[in-house]
């Protein structure tokens, strides 16, 4: 039930167009027995079906700029492999602290966010 409620709350927030993983992962780490890596893994998996349904809608509405994405995706794949291998290699405690620093920065950006 705890997992369902954490999923529900983070889903509500991401449905409003902010957050997503930035709230799901700390909620899991702070309130469930899962490790930092397991919590991050859940966020990665849950994103996949949500992304597919969002992409279908955005494609129909012609909101995706396909032309510019290829170099970003290709270099992104290299980054993703490096980042993931490092994440599964380091200790959960260090990853948790680094995530906390990252989250602090995201929190400040959200707090001071201004529309373009």
Partner 1 sequence: MFKKLLTGIVSGFLNGFFGSGGGTIVVPSLEFIHNLEEHKAHATAILIIFPLSVISTFIYIKNGYIEIVPVLKVAGGSILGSIIGAKVLNKISSKMLRKFFGIVLIIAAIRMVF
Site residues (CB under 8 A) for partner 1, limited to 22-81: 22-30, 32, 34-35, 37-52, 54-55, 58, 61, 63-66, 68-69, 71-81
Grouping H, G, I as helix, E, B as strand and the rest as coil, residue 46 is helix
Least separation in angstroms between CB 36 and partner 1: 9
Q: How many residues bind partner 1 (CB under 8 A)?
A: 94
Kindly state the smallest distance separating residue 91's Cβ from partner 1, in Å: 13
* Residue in the block written with tokens 């959200």: 110
14: number of Cβ within 10 Å: 18
Give burial (CB, 10 Å; 0-12/13-18/19+) of 40: buried
Residue length of the chain: 116
Closer residue to partner 1, CB minimum distance, 91 or 100 = 100
Shortest CB 6 distance to partner 1, Å: 6
91 scored as a contact of partner 1 (CB under 8 A)? no
Instruction: Say whether residue 107 binds partner 1 (CB under 8 A).
Output: yes
Does residue 83 bind partner 1 (CB under 8 A)? yes
The DSSP annotation for 71-95 comes to HHHHHHHHHHHHHHHHHHHS-HHHH
Task: Give the separation between CA 116 and CA 13, rounded to whole angstroms.
Answer: 22
């Amino acid at each position: 039930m705890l997992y369902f409620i954490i999923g529900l709350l983070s889903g509500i927030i991401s449905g409003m167009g902010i957050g997503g993983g930035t709230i799901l992962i700390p909620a899991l780490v702070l309130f469930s027995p899962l490790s930092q890596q397991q919590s991050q893994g859940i966020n990665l998996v849950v994103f996949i079906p949500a992304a597919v349904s969002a992409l279908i809608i955005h494609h129909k509405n012609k909101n995706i700029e396909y032309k510019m994405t290829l170099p970003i995706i290709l270099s992104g794949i290299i980054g993703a492999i490096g980042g993931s291998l490092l994440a599964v290699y380091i200790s959960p405690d260090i990853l948790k602290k680094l995530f906390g620093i990252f989250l602090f920065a995201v929190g400040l950006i959200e707090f001071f966010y201004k529309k373009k």
